[in-house]
Structure 1
Amino acid sequence: MKGFSRANLFYMRRFAEAWPDPTAIVQHPVGLLPWGHVIELLDKLDAPDLRDWYAAKDAHHGWSRSVLAHQISTRLHEREAAAPSNFAGTLEQRDSGQAQELSKDPYALQFLAVDSDVSERELEQRLVDRILETMRELGPGFAFVGRQVHLDVDGDDFYIDLLFFHVEQLRYVVIELKTTTFDPRDAGQLGFYVAVVDDRLRIPNKHEPTVGILLVAGKNDTVVRYALASTTQPVAVSRYELTEEAQKALPDEATIARAFADELDRSTGRTE
């Protein structure tokens, strides 16, 4: 066979080393992925279990290569289902685990291209303006219902920042935004919104209980734990990040050597 670049041959060898059993590869999630996705896994992950974890997520959700790269760079495996919540105490056991899967901690909102001085209304507007990226970060299954959703409670007006419906779990998800550090009163406000939505919008025997997710600029996890213990509605609290973390490592020696060799081949016109 002809036409393979030097870099591609190196990737093929790395692929064979990473998944050495040729008889099982077709049953493995990585066997369902395009070659470009396999390269992302090889370049960005060293641990075999993490490669398998992201390969399975990619195959299940049908991510694009850019989405896969984003999920790896923002360490989805550490953030998924990680937000402190009171779901275990406020939902039935069969449901609390599912509800917890809807959360992340922190949420990676770097795509909004705003700084820490942004106001709550501006942050909310940016999330709606970039709704596709917002939905990607929230996770699969979220459907956008509305922004500043009006609640009329016996003549008193209240407005939910963002309201979603999860089409797989069949439940409403209320999201409130705070550009400040978590305050226990925030959990009470969100719990109130969850209770109203659950009573006014949820269809009994068809929809699962409504849950709330509070996104804050910072939090003291001990304060969050005490606040959630006194909240009767199912609520999770998560931090959001608006800026990329600084790169902590240079490319390894093998990566530099491959890049140098590829550039040398191009400059000399070698093809073999």
Structure 2
Amino acid sequence: MNIDKRYHSEYVEWLTGLKNRIKSTQIKAALSANKEIIELYWEIGRELFEKQDNQGWGNSVVDNLEKDLVSEFPDMKGFSRRNLFYMKGFYTFYKSDFEKVQQLVAQIPWGHNILIVSRSNSMNEALFYLAKTIENNWSRSVLDMQIRTDLYSRQGKAITNFKNTLPLPGSDLATQTLKDPYLFDFLTLKQNADEKSIEDQLTKHITQFLLELGTGFAFIGRQYKIEVGDKDFFIDLLFYHTKLRCYVVVELKAKRFKPEYTGKLSFYLSAIDDKLKTESDNPTIGIILCQEKNKIEAEYALRGISQPIGVAEYQLSRAIPENIKSDLPTIEDIEKELSTTLNGNERG
């Protein structure tokens, strides 16, 4: 039935609001269902722990439980032998601090939780990945990549002068935004690649580059031209950070850090603040990405600089961290066995 033209705009407005309410309800229902599943798996894990470790039932109870639960609930894919052991591992990892993490683990899918529990060496590391997953809405593949590249050990580790040049809480947020080292192993380059080649590849693979930089970076341009006096100067890479609300100048150095690099970058920051920054923007931040640095040398170089600058290394190749074990489940394993649990519940 056609809507009378007199009511068309009113109908469109009503329909838009209705769609938003339905989507909101779907999200709430999914979160609620996920919370129930996490709590169920926690209880199963707790009871398996008690019966195997405290009562000495042995691993045969898992085989029997898998058979009986799969027979009773054929549409649910979460009761495999592997997943039952995951439930026990989930309980064992968090059992002393579950109240601390209960609300966090309920906000992400089971497969995400298993990745975090299986690959975290401490409660603090697990809490870090839980919070980052929720904050950034990471997919399982992105979470897997962040863990494999050891984001926990790299986040906030760059050498900066932010505490002396930025007000709180902006200085803390800016510090946590930077990493050290940055991993550019997605580039098809040799270790001794020059700066132009790295720039070419980073802009060619801008999606991966932005993912490595982290949430909030928006790419403005490469070899960004600024005119100062009667000369043109070119900034390697220019970004705007939506959370920090400031421009970010990135200078690439395919060599060891030198103190004089900070003077040139400080000049660029002054120019961007003068020519691009608005009243609503915070002071421009600079990042020097170099192949190698001496920590003390970099700290001395930044000590007398009045503008916010960070110094970090980059790597064109990396080794898998020692805590990533080869016998851990792959993303495909987890998706195959676990990710259809919610769908099974919906069909049931």
For residues 124 and 299 of structure 2, what CA distance do their matches in structure 1 show? 31
Higher helix residue share: 2
Please, which of 209, 216, 220 is the counterpart of residue 290 of structure 2? 216
For residues 94 and 163 of structure 2, what CA distance do their matches in structure 1 show? 38
1:113-153: CA deviations, max 9, x gaps? 32212110110111111111111111111111111100111
Distance 1:82 1:247, change over 3 A: closer
Residues 84-93 or 144-153, more deviating = 84-93
Please, which of 178, 189, 208 is the counterpart of residue 103 of structure 1? 178
Paired residues for 1:128-167 under 5 Å: 128-167=203-242
Please, which of 240, 245, 266 is the counterpart of residue 170 of structure 1? 245
Q: Does 1:186 align with 2:256?
A: no
**SS, match of residue 207 in structure 1:** coil
Distance 1:123 1:26, change over 3 A: closer
**SS, match of residue 248 in structure 2:** strand
| Moved >3 Å (runs of 4+) | 19-27, 246-252
Consecutive unaligned residues of structure 1, counting only runs of 5 or more, are: 263-272
The structural deviation recorded for 1:221 is 1.0
Larger Rg: 2
Residues 91-100 or 131-140, more deviating = 91-100
**SS, match of residue 136 in structure 1:** helix
- 2:287 is aligned with what amino acid? I
Q: Does 1:243 align with 2:317?
A: yes
The structural deviation recorded for 1:247 is 5.6
Aligned twin of 1:231:
305
- 1:101 is aligned with what amino acid? Q
1:191-221: CA deviations, max 9, x gaps? 11111001110002x0111110010000011
The structural deviation recorded for 1:27 is 4.4
The structural deviation recorded for 1:45 is 1.7
For residues 37 and 165 of structure 1, what CA distance do their matches in structure 2 show? 30
Q: Does 1:36 align with 2:108?
A: no
The structural deviation recorded for 1:109 is 1.4
Distance 1:100 1:46, change over 3 A: closer
The structural deviation recorded for 1:222 is 1.2
For residues 251 and 26 of structure 1, what CA distance do their matches in structure 2 show? 24
Distance 1:33 1:158, change over 3 A: same
Distance 1:10 1:181, change over 3 A: same
The structural deviation recorded for 1:230 is 2.6
The structural deviation recorded for 1:39 is 1.9
- Does the 8 A contact of 1:215 with 1:240 survive in 2? yes
Q: What RMSD, in angstroms, separates the aligned Cα atoms of the two structures?
A: 2.5
- Does the 8 A contact of 1:81 with 1:104 survive in 2? yes
1:55-104: CA deviations, max 9, x gaps? 11111211111211121122212211111111222223443222222211
- Does the 8 A contact of 1:88 with 1:97 survive in 2? yes
**SS, match of residue 180 in structure 2:** coil
Give % identity: 38
TM-score by length of 2: 0.68
- Does the 8 A contact of 1:30 with 1:59 survive in 2? no
Consecutive unaligned residues of structure 2, counting only runs of 5 or more, are: 1-68, 334-348
- 2:225 is aligned with what amino acid? H
- 1:230 is aligned with what amino acid? G
